[in-house]
Amino acid sequence: MPSIAKPRVAHPSAQLNQIGLKQRDYEGVMSTLCAGCGHDSVTAAIVRALWELSIEPHMLAKMSGIGCSSKTPAYFVNGAHGFNSAHGRMPPIATGANAANRELLYIGVSGDGDSLSIGLGHLCHAIRRNLRMVYLIENNGVYGLTKGQFSASADVGSKSKRGEANQMSPIDPMLLGLSLGATFLARGFSGDKEQLVPILKAAIEHRGFAMVDIISPCVTFNDHNGSTKSYLYTRQHQIEATQMDFVPPAREILAEIGTAGEIAVTLHDGSVVRFKQTPEGYDPTNRSAVSRYLEEHAGTGKIVTGLLYVNEAGPELHELNHTPAHALTKVPYEKLCPGSKVLAEMQQGWR
Amino acid sequence: MKPTDVQDPNYFHKVVDCQWACPAHTNVPEYIRLIAQGRYTDSYMLNRESNVFPAILGRTCDRPCEPACRRGRLEDAKPVAICRLKRVASDLKGDISHLLPSIPQKKNGKRLACIGAGPASLAVANDLMPLGYQITMFEKLPQAGGLMRSNIPAFRLPGTIIDEETGVILDMGVDIRYNTPVDSMRSLLRDNFDAVFVGTGAPRGKNLEIPGRYQTDRIHIGIDWLESVAFKHIESIGERVLIIGVGNTAMDCCRTSRRLGGKDIKVMARRPRTFFKASPWELEDAEEEGVEILINHAPSRFVLENGKLIGMEFERLEWDEQARKSKTIDTIFLPADDVILAIGQENSFPWIERDLGIEFDKWDMPVVNETTLQSTLPNVFFGGDAALGPKNIIWAVEQAHQAAISIHNFCHGSAVTERPAPGVNLITQKMGMSEWSYHNDYNPSARQKMQHVDLTERFRELNVEVELGFSAEQTAREVQRCLNCDIETVFTPKRCIECDACIDICPVACLTIAPNGEEEDLRTRLSAPAFNLDQALYVSAPLPQTGRIMAKDEDVCVHCGLCAERCPTAAWDMQKFEILISQASGTPEWNTTLVPA
C-alpha cells in the first residue's frame, strides 16, 4: 500500500470535460491492491472513459461482490453510489437496483472467481434479462485473494506459480454470453488502454447488458513463465478481432461511417461504434459467425480481443416488463403501492 | 530519441531547477530538508560551501532560483521561498567555528593580493586560505564588505550580519589593510605577489547629462549617496525627492530617502512596469512604504530658480508593445528638493596603467576569460562586478570560486584551463516497502508571507531591519512546500513489464509508454502534452515486452515517488542526486552531512 494518498495536484494543462470536471475528479481512494495489479489499470481506464463521456458522478452506481476485483469500485468516482454485495451476488443486487431506478448508470466490477464460480448462476440470468449495466470481469485466472489457486477461467495447461498445470477446462465468458443471448460482448487487456477505453465507452452507452472480459494479470500469483494470463503471454498471443472507435452522438455527422472495410453500429443514444476488421470478414453483428470464430481460436492459445459481438435490437429488462419510462423511485408511493383496499378490489374483479 | 544518459552530471542537475539556476549551484533541496529536520547549523554550512555568505544572501540575494522553482509551474504558481529559508538557517544556526576548514600553520609560500574587500575578494580568500596561501587584502573603506556594506541599506542588511560573515573569512588570517585604496597597479605588481585578484566591483554610478546637471549640489549619484548614508556623512534629505531609474539601487535610494526625512518620494521610470529591472519584491516593499512609482517619464532637464533646484521636467512617453519605440505625448514639471540618479553603474579602472599587459576592450573593460577569470596578464585575475560587468553578489561568489581554481592552478604551474570535473552521486532512498528517506508527500500550503516591522516602527531609526524572518510555524510550512527535486525518478528499462501502474498513479501525468519517435513528435503524444521545451524528456531504452519506450516529462513532476511505490518490479526507483562541484580544494568526497539523519 502506498505511503501517501495521490497528491491533489494536477497537471497545469489538465482539461475540463463538458460538465466542468477534471479527469482527477473521477478518481477514488488509494488502491490497496498489489503494485502492478492489472485491476488498477482497469480502474484508470474506467476513470478515463467516465470523464470523457462527462458522466455525472451522482448518476453512477458502482456494484461489486467479493474478491480483489470487487475492491475496484472504491478506487474510482468517490461521489458515486455503490453497493458491495456478498460473494457472487452482485448481479441480483444490480438487477434490483436497476429495477427501482433505471436512470442510473450501473457499473459492476467482478472477477473470474466472483462471476464464473460462486456467482455463475446469477451472471447467466442477468445476461438473459439483458439488464442494462456494464459488467466487467477482471480476469486473471487465479484466486489472488487466497494466494493463487486456479480459477474457473484458467486455461488447460496453464501453470501455477509452483509449476503445476491446470487440467480442468476453462469457462470462456464470451462463449457463455453468446450461448445465453448476450447483446454486447467485448474482451480487452488491462495493458492496452487504447483499446480498452473505447470499449468501455461503447459498453456504457449500450442499451442492455454489456459484458467486458478484461485480461488483468495477477502480478503476484500469475505473471510467471507458463502462465497464460501474464502480461507477456497476453501481449504475445493477443489477436484483435476488431479495432474499434467510439464516436459520441455530437460527432456523428462528422465521422465518415461505412468506409471500405468498416462496419458501423449505431447505439441507442445515437453514438456510433465503428469497427475496422483486422481478420478479413469478421462481422461483430453475426452471432453464429462470431461463435465459430471464438471456438476456432479457443484451443489455439490465442486471446481474441476487441468488441466481439453487439446486438442493439434486443429488448432490455424494462422493455420486457413494460415499466414506466422514468425511475420507479420517482413514482409516488401511493401510486406504486395503492394499498390493500385497491388490491381487494382488483381481486374482486377476477372472482 | 536516444535513451537519456542519467550519468551525465548535467542531466539531473537541470532537473533540480533551483540548483541549476543558482550561479554558485547551491544545493537548495538538501538545505531545506536539513532545516526541516532542525539541523540549522548543517544547513548553514551546506549553504556556505557554495555561496559563502548565507546570512547576507538570505536577505539580499537576487534569487535566480525562485523564478526557476518547479513549484512555480504548478497550480498555485508560487515558488518556494528559498531565499527566506536560507535566512532561517543562518538565524538559527549554532556555533560554526569547529566546522570551518582548518588553516595550515605552515604556509604554501604563495602570496596573493586581493584588491577590494567585497564578496568576490572575500570568497577567493575563503577558498585559498585553507590551502596555505598568504593573502593581503586592500580596501579603500574602513570596513570590509564592499558594496554589500556601502550600497545595501542597513534596514535590509544589518551591519552586524556583514561583520559576522566577513569576519569568519578575515579571521582565517587574511592580512586586511583598511583605508588603503590601490592607486597604481604598477606599484602593486612591483611587490612581487604570485598572483593578484581584482575584486573592486563596479564603483561608478552612471550620470545623467541633461541641462542643469551641474548648477546645484542637490543632485546625487545613487551609489555614492548610499555610501555616504552608510558611513553617516549624510543624515537628511529634502521632503520632495525624485529618484531617476527603477532598478534595485533606486529602490534602496527611495526607501532610504523615506527614512532621512523624504515625504513625497517619486521613482521615475522611462518604461512600463513589465520592463523594470528591480526585483518584484523590492518594488512591493518600496510601495508598501508609500513610495510612488511613475512609469513612462523620460527626464529632459533640471529646473532651477535663483540657483536653487526646484524640480525636473519630464517628457511623458507612449510606448509600442515591446517598449522599443516611444513617442512623446507632452512635457510635465514635477517639483523636487533633491534628485537621486540610480540609472546603473559601471566599472572604472583609472588606477590600472594601460601599459602593463592588461588589455582593455573598446568599452574600457579589462579583457577577461569568462571561464578562468584570467586577464591578459597571466598573474592578474578578475572577479565580481569588476570582471564581466555589474551582476550581483551570488555571481560574484561563483566567479570567485572559479578565479580561486585558476589562481591555485597558476601558482602551482598547471594550466588554468585544466578545470576539475564535477562528480555525481545517485543513491537510492528506499528504506523499505513504500518507505523513503525523504518526506515524499505533497504539501498544498501556500507560500508563506514575510512579516515586516510596523511602518511607524521601521522609520524611527535608519537601521531597523524591516523583515522579521519566518516564524517557527511559517518555516515548518514553507520547508514542506519544497518538492525535493533532487530525489530523482530513475528508471531501469529491462525490469519493466509495462503494467501501466506508474502511469496510472502519477498525479501530474508525467509518464507515458509509447512508440519511440523524434523529440518534437514524441512531445505531442504524451499523457499530457510537453510544451515546456526548457524541461527535458527522460527517455528509456526499448522496453522488453513491446519495444516501446518509457518517456517522462520532467516539467511538473512533484517527486512524490508514487511511480516507484506502485512499480511491481522496482524498475522505477527514487535516488538522491548530488552533484559534487569542484572548488580550488579539489572535487569533494561524498558529503557525509547529507546522509539521512
Do B568 and A34 make contact, defined as CB atoms within 8 angstroms?
Answer: yes
Chain B nearest-CA distance from A83, in A, is 25
Do B406 and B378 fall within a single domain?
yes
- Whether A9 has its CB under 8 Å from any CB of chain B: the answer is yes
Task: Tell me whether residue B432 is in a domain.
Answer: no
Examine the pLDDT at B373 and tell me if it is beyond 70.
yes
Examine the pLDDT at A254 and tell me if it is beyond 70.
no
What would the DSSP string read from start to end of B178-226? TT-----HHHHHTT--SEEEE-----EEPP---TTTTS-S-EEEHHHHH
Q: What is the distance in angstroms between the CA of the first residue and the CA of the last residue of chain A? A: 66
Residue among A4, A44, A231 minimizing CB distance to B498: A231
Examine the pLDDT at B530 and tell me if it is beyond 50.
yes
Residue among B74, B436, B546 minimizing CB distance to A9: B74
Task: Tell me whether residue B424 is in a domain.
Answer: no
Judging contacts by C-beta atoms under 8 Å, the chain B residues touching residue A2 are: 434, 505, 562, 565-566
- Whether A13 has its CB under 8 Å from any CB of chain B: the answer is yes
Report the distance separating Cα B248 and Cα B59, nearest Å.
13
Give the strand pairing for B326-335 and B308-319: antiparallel
Task: Tell me whether residue B56 is in a domain.
Answer: yes
Report the distance separating Cα B197 and Cα B584, nearest Å.
15
What's the pLDDT tens digit per position in A105-122?
999 999 999 999 999 999
Q: Which residues contact B36 (CB under 8 A, 6 or more apart)?
A: B439, B476, B479, B480
Beta strands in B73-130 (DSSP E): 111-115
- Whether A41 has its CB under 8 Å from any CB of chain B: the answer is yes
Examine the pLDDT at B537 and tell me if it is beyond 50.
yes
Instruction: Tell me the one-letter amino acid at A106.
Output: Y
Judging contacts by C-beta atoms under 8 Å, the chain B residues touching residue A35 are: 501, 565-568
What's the pLDDT tens digit per position in A263-320?
677 776 777 777 665 677 788 889 999 999 999 888 788 899 999 999 988 899 999 9
Instruction: Tell me the one-letter amino acid at A3.
Output: S
Examine the pLDDT at A2 and tell me if it is beyond 50.
yes
Report the distance separating Cα A82 and Cα A71, nearest Å.
11
Mean pLDDT of B401-417: 95
Q: Which residues contact A107 (CB under 8 A, 6 or more apart)?
A: A46, A60, A61, A62, A63, A73, A133, A134, A136, A204
Examine the pLDDT at B413 and tell me if it is beyond 90.
yes
Report the distance separating Cα B66 and Cα B81, nearest Å.
7
Q: Which residues contact A200 (CB under 8 A, 6 or more apart)?
A: A45, A46, A49, A134, A188, A212
Report the distance separating Cα B579 and Cα B581, nearest Å.
6
Do B223 and B320 fall within a single domain?
yes
Output the pLDDT for position A259. Answer: 44
Q: Is A239:A215 a contact under the CB 8 Å cutoff?
A: no
Mean pLDDT of B574-593: 79
- Whether A15 has its CB under 8 Å from any CB of chain B: the answer is no
Calculate helix-pair angle for B393-411, B119-128, nearest 10 degrees: 40
Mean pLDDT of A233-238: 93
Do B497 and A36 make contact, defined as CB atoms within 8 angstroms?
Answer: yes
What's the pLDDT tens digit per position in B299-343?
999 999 988 999 999 999 999 888 888 899 999 999 999 999 999
> Residue A235: exposed, middle, or buried by beta-carbon count in 10 A (0-12, 13-18, 19+)?
middle
Examine the pLDDT at B423 and tell me if it is beyond 90.
no
Mean pLDDT of B503-530: 94
Output the pLDDT for position A160. Answer: 94
Do B68 and B151 fall within a single domain?
no
Phi, psi of B239, deg, nearest 5: -75, -35
Instruction: Tell me the one-letter amino acid at B128.
Output: L
Calculate helix-pair angle for B248-259, B280-288, nearest 10 degrees: 20
Output the pLDDT for position B347. Answer: 85
CA dist B417 to B54, B125, B410, B475, Å?
A: 29, 21, 10, 43
Report the distance separating Cα B252 and Cα B238, nearest Å.
16
Do B177 and B246 fall within a single domain?
no
Residues 234-263 of A with CB under 8 A from B: 235
Angle at B42 between CA B40 and CA B43, to 5 degrees: 60
Output the pLDDT for position B54. Answer: 97
pTM equals 0.89
Do B93 and B105 fall within a single domain?
no
Do B504 and B565 fall within a single domain?
yes
Task: Tell me whether residue B427 is in a domain.
Answer: no
Mean pLDDT of B442-453: 93
Structural domains in chain A, sorted by start: 23-329 (3.40.50.970)
Mean pLDDT of B444-466: 90
- The distance from CA A127 to its chain's CA centroid, rounded to whole angstroms, is 12
Mean pLDDT of B80-94: 96
- The position carrying cell 536516444 is B2
Sheet holding B308-319, edge to edge: B297-305, B308-319, B326-335
Give the strand pairing for B345-346 and B264-268: unpaired
Task: Tell me whether residue B108 is in a domain.
Answer: yes
CA dist B477 to B437, B444, B481, B533, Å?
A: 19, 9, 7, 31
Answer left, alpha or beta for residue A276, where phi above 0 means left and psi between -120 and 50 means alpha: beta
Mean pLDDT of B218-232: 93
Which cell goes with A261?
472495410
Report the distance separating Cα B592 and Cα B42, nearest Å.
11
Output the pLDDT for position A279. Answer: 73
The overall average pLDDT reported for chain B is: 93
Which cell goes with A105?
448508470
Judging contacts by C-beta atoms under 8 Å, the chain A residues touching residue B508 are: 9-11
Q: Looking at residue B545, which CATH number applies to its domain?
A: 3.30.70.20
Output the pLDDT for position A240. Answer: 86
Do B566 and A41 make contact, defined as CB atoms within 8 angstroms?
Answer: no
Output the pLDDT for position B589. Answer: 65
Output the pLDDT for position B321. Answer: 85
Which cell goes with B196?
593578484
Tell me the pLDDT band of A48, cut-offs 50, 70 and 90. Answer: very high
Query: What 3-state class would DSSP assign to B71?
Result: helix
Q: Looking at residue B400, which CATH number applies to its domain?
A: 3.50.50.60
- The distance from CA B390 to its chain's CA centroid, rounded to whole angstroms, is 13
Instruction: Tell me the one-letter amino acid at B99.
Output: L
Report the distance separating Cα B18 and Cα B29, nearest Å.
8
Do B192 and B213 fall within a single domain?
no
Preferred mutation among B76, B439, B512, B566 to probe A, highest tally of A CBs within 10 A? B566
Nearest-by-CA chain B residue for A40: B501
Mean pLDDT of B463-483: 94
Do B150 and B232 fall within a single domain?
no
Q: Looking at residue B29, which CATH number applies to its domain?
A: 1.10.1060.10
Least confident of A32-46, A267-281, B244-258: A267-281
Q: Is B568:A36 a contact under the CB 8 Å cutoff?
A: yes
Task: Tell me whether residue B129 is in a domain.
Answer: yes
Output the pLDDT for position B553. Answer: 96
Do B552 and B449 fall within a single domain?
no
Sign for the CA dihedral angle at A328, A329, A330, A335 comes to positive
Q: Which residues contact A341 (CB under 8 A, 6 or more apart)?
A: none
Do A232 and B568 make contact, defined as CB atoms within 8 angstroms?
Answer: no
Cα–Cα nearest to B101, from B578, B590, B584, B596:
B584
What's the pLDDT tens digit per position in B511-524?
999 999 999 999 99
Chain A nearest-CA distance from B570, in A, is 10
Nearest-by-CA chain A residue for B443: A7
Do B118 and B94 fall within a single domain?
no
Output the pLDDT for position B378. Answer: 95
Cα–Cα nearest to A26, from A2, A44, A6, A1:
A44
Residue among B444, B497, B501 minimizing CB distance to A40: B501
Judging contacts by C-beta atoms under 8 Å, the chain A residues touching residue B556 are: 11-12
Examine the pLDDT at B561 and tell me if it is beyond 50.
yes
Last residue of a domain, one of B309, B344, B379: B344
Query: What 3-state class would DSSP assign to B132?
Result: coil
Number of residues that this document lists for chain B = 597
Query: What 3-state class would DSSP assign to B49?
Result: helix
Provide the domain count of chain B.
Answer: 4
Judging contacts by C-beta atoms under 8 Å, the chain A residues touching residue B440 are: 3-4
How many beta-carbon pairs under 8 angstroms link A with B? 104
Nearest-by-CA chain B residue for A215: B499
Examine the pLDDT at B41 and tell me if it is beyond 80.
yes
What's the pLDDT tens digit per position in A176-218?
999 999 999 999 999 999 999 999 999 999 999 999 999 999 9
Cα–Cα nearest to A286, from A256, A255, A262, A308:
A308
Do B64 and B153 fall within a single domain?
no
CA dist A128 to A94, A132, A182, B263, B549, Å?
A: 14, 11, 7, 88, 44
Beta partners for residue B489, in sequence order = B574
Do B105 and B193 fall within a single domain?
yes
Mean pLDDT of B40-66: 95
Q: Is A233:A227 a contact under the CB 8 Å cutoff?
A: yes
Q: Is B211:B302 a contact under the CB 8 Å cutoff?
A: yes
Q: Which domain holds residue B115?
A: 100-203+347-411
Examine the pLDDT at A261 and tell me if it is beyond 90.
no
Output the pLDDT for position B461. Answer: 84
What's the pLDDT tens digit per position in A77-89?
999 999 999 999 9
Last residue of a domain, one of B344, B365, B394: B344
Instruction: Tell me the one-letter amino acid at A192.
Output: D
Task: Tell me whether residue B418 is in a domain.
Answer: no
Output the pLDDT for position B348. Answer: 86
Task: Tell me whether residue B592 is in a domain.
Answer: no
Judging contacts by C-beta atoms under 8 Å, the chain B residues touching residue A190 are: 499-500
Mean pLDDT of A148-160: 95
Chain B residues contacting A, CB < 8 Å? 73-75, 434-436, 440-442, 444, 497-501, 503-505, 507-509, 528-529, 531, 545-546, 556, 558, 560-562, 565-569
Least confident of A246-260, B1-15, B456-470: A246-260
Last residue of a domain, one of B433, B452, B481: B481
Query: What 3-state class would DSSP assign to B545?
Result: coil
Percent of chain B with pLDDT over 90: 85
Which cell goes with A113?
472467481
Judging contacts by C-beta atoms under 8 Å, the chain A residues touching residue B74 are: 9, 12
Cα–Cα nearest to A36, from A250, A198, A210, A191:
A191
